[in-house]
């Protein structure tokens, strides 16, 4: 059994799975640890006493503290040293820096940090360096790297099943760092390193410091990617369309649905090709948390590589930070 500490007991820590139905795929850290079966959440940290009590009862956690300092003091009093194999950092993003630093003092084997690592690139780089220096693995929850549909598309694009990628369009909202980092990470996973060509006006749709930023990017093969932004106040938006030689593949509803159209001879205009009717398939998005936790288990026990780690997260954040800079500093545009 791997012993786990969860820092921050809100939605992604376990709240989204509070009423999970038997047999449903887990959507949270606690839900996925429980479903995997080889993890035991020993302790949680949550300053909100009511939330802490509910979280402990829901996930059967024996110990809870209001802060990591309180946990550390209790640990010193009890004379025990490192007692956690895995530490989940699920607190608000602005607290990730101090919580990862505190987590490192507890000497776990792996830290599973929510995205983005930090809103500040330099601090995120510092955390990745600290984890490397201390030999602690860092998994970052860019969860689509654990989505089988995404892995399949990556393989298909790589082996040329769709022919050339002509162009890519993406739509997102709720912040370039908060949600855009998911999109940039996913695009870099599928298309390799991206460079920013141009950015549009920032849209402050959920935060004054993290606007959504429209942009044009390019990969190393010269394929252009156009990112447009909706407003987070309307609805959640996270979709992508790959226009390829052999058809169009669209990831919709954040990955809950995939839509494909294949190029075929036109029934209406002889000598032309057109796109077929849309084929909709259910996505494997809900497998991502379970797959992440399985990957984490194998990383700790067998030394497996992590599909999403500090380095891949930093590569995404670097692009996001450039987009943020170009968009909010008109002189940089
Ligand atoms: N990977 C994803 O798709 C995904 C989805 C949702 C959220 N997130 C990320 O997860 C993180 C948390 O988001 P959330 O939606 O669960 O937020 P949330 O507000 O539901 O949960 C955060 C919890 O942290 C607690 N907290 C506050 N101060 C704390 C402290 N000093 N020590 C410990 N806990 C503290 C809060 O009381 C709250 O219970 C964010 O970084 C967010 O970007 C990622």
**pTM to 2 decimal places:** 0.96
- 224-229 and 39-45 strand pairing: unpaired
Q: What is the mean pLDDT of residues 188-216?
A: 97
User: What pLDDT score does 80 carry?
Assistant: 60
Please tell me the distance between residue 287's alpha carbon and the centre of ligand 1 in angstroms: 21
- Lining residues, ligand 1, CB within 6 Å: 7-13, 15, 45-48, 51, 90-93, 95, 114-115, 141, 143, 178
Backbone phi and psi for residue 18, each to the nearest 5 degrees, phi listed first: -55, -40
In degrees, rounded to 5, the angle at the alpha carbon of residue 21 between the alpha carbons of residues 15 and 26 is 55
Looking at the chain, the whole-number percentage of residues with pLDDT higher than 90 is 94
Atom of ligand 1 nearest to the CA of 93: 41
pLDDT in tens, 274-303: 999 999 999 999 999 999 999 999 999 999
Q: What is the mean pLDDT of residues 167-175?
A: 98
User: What pLDDT score does 78 carry?
Assistant: 59
pLDDT in tens, 55-113: 999 999 999 999 999 999 987 665 565 699 999 999 999 999 999 999 999 999 999 99
The DSSP output letter for 331 is G
Q: Which long-range contacts (CB under 8 A, 24 or more apart) does 321-325 make?
A: 321/121, 321/177, 322/196, 323/176, 323/180, 323/184, 323/196, 323/199, 323/213, 323/215, 324/176, 324/177, 324/202, 324/210, 324/211, 324/213
Mutate to test the pocket of ligand 1, among 28, 91, 98, 255 (most ligand atoms within 8 A of CB): 91
pLDDT in tens, 322-332: 999 999 987 76
Rounded to the nearest integer, the mean pLDDT of the chain is 96
pLDDT in tens, 14-47: 999 999 988 899 999 999 999 999 999 999 999 9
* Domains of the chain as residue ranges with CATH: 2-144+289-307 (3.40.50.720), 146-283+318-332 (3.30.360.10)
- Residue with CA at minimum distance from ligand 1 atom 21: 10
Atom of ligand 1 nearest to the CA of 12: 16
Mutate to test the pocket of ligand 1, among 27, 65, 114 (most ligand atoms within 8 A of CB): 114
Please tell me the distance between residue 35's alpha carbon and the centre of ligand 1 in angstroms: 21
User: What pLDDT score does 23 carry?
Assistant: 87
Q: How confident is the model at residue 333 (pLDDT cuts 50, 70, 90)?
A: low
């Amino acid at each position: 059994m791997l012993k786990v500490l969860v820092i921050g007991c809100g939605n992604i820590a376990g709240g989204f799975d509070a009423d999970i139905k038997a047999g449903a795929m887990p959507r949270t850290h606690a839900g996925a640890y429980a479903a995997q079966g080889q993890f035991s959440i020993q302790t949680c940290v949550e300053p909100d006493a009511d939330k802490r009590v509910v979280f402990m009862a829901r996930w059967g956690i024996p110990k809870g503290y209001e802060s990591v300092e309180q946990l550390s003091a209790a640990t010193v009093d009890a004379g025990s040293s490192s007692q956690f194999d895995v530490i989940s950092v699920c607190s608000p993003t602005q607290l990730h820096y101090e919580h990862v630093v505190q987590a490192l003092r507890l000497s776990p084997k792996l830290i599973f940090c929510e995205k983005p690592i930090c809103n500040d690139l330099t601090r995120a780089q510092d955390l990745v360096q600290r984890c490397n220096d201390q030999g602690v693995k860092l998994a970052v929850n860019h969860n689509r790297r654990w989505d089988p549909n995404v892995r399949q598309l990556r393989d298909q694009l790589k082996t040329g099943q769709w022919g050339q990628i002509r162009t890519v369009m993406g739509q997102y909202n709720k912040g370039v760092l908060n949600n855009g980092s998911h999109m940039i990470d996913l695009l870099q996973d599928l298309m390799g390193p991206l460079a920013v060509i141009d950015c549009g006006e920032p849209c402050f749709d959920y935060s004054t410091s993290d606007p959504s930023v429209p942009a044009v990017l390019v990969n190393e093969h010269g394929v252009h990617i156009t990112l447009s932004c909706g407003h987070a106040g309307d609805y959640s938006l996270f979709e992508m369309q790959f226009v390829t030689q052999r058809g169009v593949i669209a990831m919709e509803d954040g990955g809950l649905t995939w839509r494909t159209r294949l190029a075929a001879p036109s029934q209406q205009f002889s000598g032309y090709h057109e796109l077929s009717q849309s084929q909709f398939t259910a996505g494997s998005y809900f497998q991502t948390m379970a797959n992440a936790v399985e990957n984490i288990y194998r990383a700790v026990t067998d030394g497996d590589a992590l599909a999403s780690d500090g380095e891949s997260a930093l590569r995404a954040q670097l692009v996001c930070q450039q987009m943020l800079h170009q968009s909010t500093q008109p002189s940089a545009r």
